[in-house]
Chains A and B, each alone.
Chain A
């Protein structure tokens, strides 16, 4: 398979996710960018599994399971924040400021 292009794609996807997390303010977008990063990693696992054996593919299932759980919890938190603050802009959510 085309290992090099696969890794390149996943690197691009991951960087996009990082950039989104860093630059965007909407919590939902940030959340989606995190999912993007997780899936970029998944793609890396799949690509490398072609050469290194099936372990990587197994881990992908774990990641998907964790991502599903994370999505459930994360979206619940986002709804709670929205109900509380009437906004989803992270710059307005700074209750933990020291």
Chain B
């Protein structure tokens, strides 16, 4: 193990130190913005530097097994001997780079975006804490350590969604995210209990080494464990059926949406499946479920994104949809491709969110100047911003082309790789062809709704308002500079993993090979012919082109009315705009019955009546009755006492004399 890997604790500890310092500052010196920015951004940049050195060491060392650094005995309880241990391998290296790299850029962007917020110190404290937990999640060497990070990022997500908690809707969105995640966490816990019961350990290395001998391939136990794990993933990574929290999570500040709800936290589920690839590969049914849910979510969320007007909501559904692709990837056994899409998505989606953030920032300022209360996130209030914000427009186009899958932008390679892997699996089961079709249609819609977003936001006539127009200008450099860096990634990250037909192809796949090697044993060997591969590439390009030009041709930004004057939606458009009424459905089927049950049964019947009434007050009442009976003997009349006394004396006398 090279000495650089010994610094792994530093990567985790730096953001934690940032949290502690900024947390203290938020109490004692909330106005010391320079210090807060320095600490908040500094720890991330330092963590990125350390991570970079470590990743070089990992790339050079190419460990077959993960390097585990154990720090202390965490839970020594009988058979369960759990160490607090971190591990460094190729997969955690990739994740570490994404978390610290994209995280650092988003921290820099936040300096500009949140600069005038009174909760500046609190914001950076939460953001640092989030990065700490996220790194714990991806670097933990056992399921429980990962789970601590898993819960921690959920907590930070809750805190940051409800960052502007003065408005009830924001606080509610935070609660919704937290509760939805708890449902998923239940699955994660069940999976851990089952793993411990069958394997007797929760360390990654031990579990994955023991899995092939402990479980039967395709057996019930392994299927149950992996499905329970996947339930955790659906919560954290916003897949059907637990996806509804993610669009609501847009209530938080936009950089938070970029960092937590696009680039890192929501991809934790994909990381989990990729990390436990042996388990999933041994459970083909679960893998098919993962891929199916992913493909379905990809299409479903993409259709909703078609009719959203809130720019962040479009991106939120787009994120749900792209996460669906990642699950399709890891579900069909293309673990490296799922991670590849995770990386490219982290670049272009963070870029899209930050770009929309700078648009919202500028619009918000304009409305603030003119004291008008318009929705700064509604695309109907934008339009024609390309003239005022050239840098933002340029980088947003780069990200749009990347997510739409236009070659040679990064999203093209990662999405195409996932779809062609799904196509390849079609030989063994026809269902994978269905997945491939779902994914391809979703790709078409992705290109369409992203072009729609760009057209309505940056092109066509400006709908902001007469007086606001003069306040429209490009965001400050501290915000545009991270965008440009991310744009480089969004354009070029595809080079990490070129398709098989290219020279020096599939670098990331080979890099991750030690992690995914064991699962390859259970997956069918298959290589698409070069002809098929070419056809799929051309088809994917055609799909993206149809989506983009279709949107260009069908949508008329010039005819769009500002949000205030916009006509009501109707018919099919209304169904999409209202997100298929899934929120309403969940409310009617789950939330209301649960509230009714809690109120009527649990509170009024069990708590108020049974526990308070019968058990607590009832016991007191019975005792008071006995006391009342005793008090009736105390008449205060001497005569009565004497009678009782004599009667008692006679009884004792009788007993002494003869007994009964």
Contact = CB atoms under 8 A, between A and B. Distances in A.
Interface stretch (A41-49, A52-60, A64-72, A88-96): A88-96
Interface string B621-639: 0000000001111111111
A95 B636 contact: yes
Nearest to A34: B642
B528 interface: no
A80 to B, nearest CB: 15
B646 interface: yes
A74 to B, nearest CB: 12
B637 A21 contact: no
A94 B455 CA distance: 97
B637 A90 contact: yes
A84 interface: no
A93 B640 CA distance: 12
B643 interface: yes
Contacts of A22: 639, 642-643, 646
Interface in B13-30: none
Contacts of A95: 636
Given A18-B646, A22-B643, A22-B646, A97 B635 contact: yes
A98 B630 contact: yes
A21 B646 CA distance: 11
Interface residues of B, number: 13
A93 B633 contact: no
B634 A93 contact: no
B88 to A, nearest CB: 79
Contacts of B633: 98
Nearest to B641: A96
A27 B432 CA distance: 107
Contacts of A98: 630-636
Nearest to B645: A21
A97 B634 contact: yes
Contacts of A90: 637-639
Contacts of B636: 93-98
B635 A94 contact: yes
Interface in B634-659: 634-639, 642-643, 646
A30 interface: yes
A93 B641 CA distance: 13
A94 B632 contact: no
A11 B634 CA distance: 30
A18 B639 CA distance: 11
A30 B638 contact: yes
A97 B640 CA distance: 11
A69 to B, nearest CB: 20
B503 to A, nearest CB: 103
Interface residues of A, number: 13
Contacts of B643: 22
B509 to A, nearest CB: 90
A98 B641 CA distance: 13
A91 B637 contact: yes
Nearest to A21: B642
Contacts of B635: 94, 97-98
A94 B646 contact: no
A30 B639 CA distance: 10
A90 B642 CA distance: 12
A18 B650 CA distance: 12
A69 B633 CA distance: 30
Contacts of A93: 636, 638
B183 to A, nearest CB: 59
A18 B647 CA distance: 11
Contacts of A21: 642
B309 to A, nearest CB: 77
Contacts of A18: 646
A20 B69 CA distance: 96
A26 B643 CA distance: 16
Interface in B66-118: none
A97 B636 CA distance: 4
A90 B637 CA distance: 7
A4 B632 CA distance: 43
Contacts of A94: 635-637
A93 B638 CA distance: 8
A52 to B, nearest CB: 18
Interface centre among A25, A90, A94, A98 (most CB of B within 10 A): A98
A30 B637 CA distance: 13
Interface in B173-212: none
A47 B636 CA distance: 38
Contacts of B631: 98
B346 to A, nearest CB: 79
Contacts of B639: 22, 25, 90-91
B626 to A, nearest CB: 13
B657 to A, nearest CB: 15
Nearest to B628: A98
Nearest to A96: B636
A22 B636 CA distance: 15
A96 B630 CA distance: 13
Contacts of B638: 30, 90, 93
A29 B642 CA distance: 15
A32 B632 CA distance: 29
Nearest to A30: B638
B394 to A, nearest CB: 93
Nearest to B627: A98
A22 B642 CA distance: 7
A90 B631 CA distance: 19
A73 B637 CA distance: 20
A96 B631 CA distance: 10
B642 A96 contact: no
Contacts of B630: 98
Contact of A96 (B632, B634, B646): B634
B646 to A, nearest CB: 6
A96 B639 CA distance: 13
Contacts of B632: 98
Contacts of A97: 634-637
Interface in B499-530: none
Contacts of B634: 96-98
A97 B633 CA distance: 9
A90 B632 CA distance: 18
10 contacts: A18-B646, A21-B642, A22-B639, A90-B638, A94-B636, A97-B634, A98-B630, A98-B631, A98-B633, A98-B634
The list of the 9 closest CB pairs from A to B, nearest first, reads A98-B634, A94-B636, A97-B636, A98-B631, A96-B636, A90-B638, A21-B642, A94-B637, A97-B635
Interface of B: 630-639, 642-643, 646
Given A96-B636, A98-B630, 16 more contacts: A18-B646, A22-B642, A22-B643, A22-B646, A25-B639, A90-B638, A91-B639, A93-B636, A94-B635, A94-B637, A96-B634, A97-B634, A98-B632, A98-B634, A98-B635, A98-B636
